Amino acid sequence: MRVTDSNVDSASSHMPTDWAAINWRLVQRNVRAMQIRLTKATQEGNWRRVKALQRWLTHSFCAKALAVKRVTENQGKRTTGVDRELWDGPQEKFSAIARLKKRGYRPLPLRRVNIPKSNGKMRPLGIPTMRDRAMQALYLLALDPVLEPLSDPNSYGFRKNRSTADAMAQIFVKLARTASPQWVLDADIEGFFDNINHNWMIDHVRMDPSILRKWLKCGVIDRAQLLATTAGTPQGGIISPALANWTLNGLETDLITHLTAKWGPTRVGKAKVGVIRYADDFVITGDSKEFLENEVRPWVETFLAVRGLRLAPAKTAIVHIDEGFDFLGWNFRKYSGKLLIKPSKKNVKTFYEKLRTLIGNSLGLKQIELINELNPRLRGWAQYHSPVVAKATFARIDWLLFWRLMRWAKRRHPKKDANWIRQRYWRPIGDRGWVFAVEVSKPDGTTIVKELYSLSSTPIKRHVKIKGAYQPYDPLWEKYGETLRQDRMVDKMRYRREWVKLYVCQQGNCALCGYEMDIDTGWQDHHIVYRVAGGSDVLGNRVLLHPSCHARVHSLNLKLVKPASE
């Protein structure tokens, strides 16, 4: 694709007059074209060009419309800031586009809410107003294409098409062989989001410094009191993950450069240094404990100190791979020279406690309602651990869950015996034996059996790691990125085979706007001929749409046709 200035300006001559009239396919294409140019200028080191393109993008109608679309269609669209304002209707959304301008912009303080952490403590979140969220989304569109080419190859947190499974796969690559490094610096940064130095960010993050300063200094409302923000970037803002990644970028590349300059490439290669990072969690490998203790850790502490950060002494340790370590909910450990990755004991315990609490609080629910509550949690947890050695863990949780559900049923029917309860709540299904299941009547009068998801039946499938050099805004990587996105989406949908067929038929694109669907955008199943009008559930009568496009089809009564498969 050849990108020219005329491509970007093509929408301005036909400016839409309302939200429904916006051509989102054109908007996405124009923003994408500008982001490609931003990445190219960054790769060339042309910072004057980068600054000019960022200003152009943040002043464009397309980018502003896309920013409003993001904050009004994501999971936080019903969460208000200190002004209690929401953008619900089409007119409010369209009017909001004109409010996204730099001149006279002053962000309001954040609304602080606290959510529980896995260790029992509370995590403070800062909730911006809708306008401030949209401004952050707007400037993120111009910041992310600059951040990506500058990111460390093995940084996997909050980046396009990268995930925790990629970080896990890289650790496996680094540690699995007989000649792999045997020692690991398992690091934890103390109060990362709360302590990043504001001056360092303003001086080094390549975005409009006046806007960034206003966000960092806007303050927070906590229990009706206005508190100043002198350090850190609050969790909860759309742009916060990008700022966090910018802060820690260089942890891998700068460390390798420092060691190479000091020792030379041959000795650095023998030291087997590797850095794998996901957001603010990272591990560093080395050939000896002394090397990590005397060379790597002091450099890391200096690197962090410049940014106002430090390692948490109680949670940072240098461990031998035979002892193992926990990272991102998995335990990495070698048994007789073989590296096995399993769900960590802490992660398993936390998950089971959530199930136990849910079932214990669900005595008033019907069986189908309890199954509907449990299945998404079971399926999501199983999918997360499906690339690792988790069969034994799945079987154990299934067994514990059976007895927990038996206890739930006995409390509902204290005068009935175990055989009656089994006949009432469990059904024999194929080779699975007795399964917690219930018959459900469909609108057409037929019945189906709704069963509890089986963790033990989850297939274990090794994750294919993303290439470290992948650049999502580089046209040379376009085909690889599309293939990767579609393969991973099909894998995510493998429990809904019909969705897989629809997704492949549509080449991963929405049937209305033609733009890509992924985990971030979401998707919904739409019947071309509505079921209330006699439409059937056959695949020929169904398409996948973005949630916003689905709502638009129904609100405007649009007629769709089935896209032809390739």
Question: Do 137 and 158 reside in the same domain of the chain?
Answer: no
pLDDT at 408: 95
pLDDT at 563: 61
Is 489 domain-assigned?
Answer: yes
Per-residue pLDDT reduced to its tens digit, 446-482:
788 899 999 999 999 999 999 989 999 999 998 898 8
Query: CB of 252 within 8 A of CB of 275?
Result: yes
Is the pLDDT confidence value at 13 over 50?
no
Question: Do 52 and 156 reside in the same domain of the chain?
Answer: no
Question: Do 174 and 247 reside in the same domain of the chain?
Answer: yes
Domain that holds residue 498: 475-556
pLDDT at 227: 80
Question: Do 504 and 411 reside in the same domain of the chain?
Answer: no
Question: Do 327 and 350 reside in the same domain of the chain?
Answer: no
> 284: Cβ–Cβ under 8 A, 6 or more apart, which residues?
184, 185, 187, 255, 273, 274, 275, 292, 296, 300
Is 214 domain-assigned?
Answer: no
pLDDT at 251: 96
pLDDT at 185: 97
pLDDT at 124: 79
Residue 519's CATH number:
1.10.30
Question: Do 410 and 485 reside in the same domain of the chain?
Answer: no
Domain count, the chain: 4
Q: Identify the domain boundary among 299, 322, 341.
A: 341
Is the pLDDT confidence value at 6 over 50?
no
Share of the chain above pLDDT 70, in %: 95
Question: Do 68 and 100 reside in the same domain of the chain?
Answer: yes
Is 276 domain-assigned?
Answer: yes
Give the predicted TM-score (pTM) of the model.
0.86
Contacts 24+ apart (CB under 8 A), 172-175: 172/339, 172/341, 173/465, 174/274, 174/276, 174/285, 175/285, 175/321, 175/332, 175/334, 175/339
**Which residues lie across from 520 on neighbouring strands?**
none
Question: Do 280 and 159 reside in the same domain of the chain?
Answer: yes
Q: Identify the domain boundary among 281, 306, 341.
A: 341
Question: Do 421 and 491 reside in the same domain of the chain?
Answer: no
Is 423 domain-assigned?
Answer: yes
SS3 assignment, position 326: strand
The rounded distance, in Å, linking the Cα atoms of 396 and 333 is 20
Residue 336's CATH number:
3.30.70.270
Per-residue pLDDT reduced to its tens digit, 324-342:
999 999 999 999 999 999 9
**Residue 494, token pair as written in the block:** 């493998």
Question: Do 85 and 182 reside in the same domain of the chain?
Answer: no
**Which residues lie across from 225 on neighbouring strands?**
222
Amino acid letter, 177: R
First vs last C-alpha separation in the chain? 21
Mean pLDDT to the nearest integer, 137-159: 95
More confident residue, 429 or 390: 390
**Residue 175, token pair as written in the block:** 């540690």
pLDDT at 290: 95
Is 378 domain-assigned?
Answer: yes
Question: Do 278 and 413 reside in the same domain of the chain?
Answer: no
DSSP one-letter code for 107: P
Confidence band for 498, pLDDT divided at 50, 70 and 90: confident
**Residue 105, token pair as written in the block:** 């912009």
Is 11 domain-assigned?
Answer: no
Is 114 domain-assigned?
Answer: yes
Is 370 domain-assigned?
Answer: yes
**Which residues lie across from 341 on neighbouring strands?**
332
Question: Do 281 and 312 reside in the same domain of the chain?
Answer: yes
Tally of CB atoms within 10 A around 416: 13
pLDDT at 530: 81
pLDDT at 38: 97
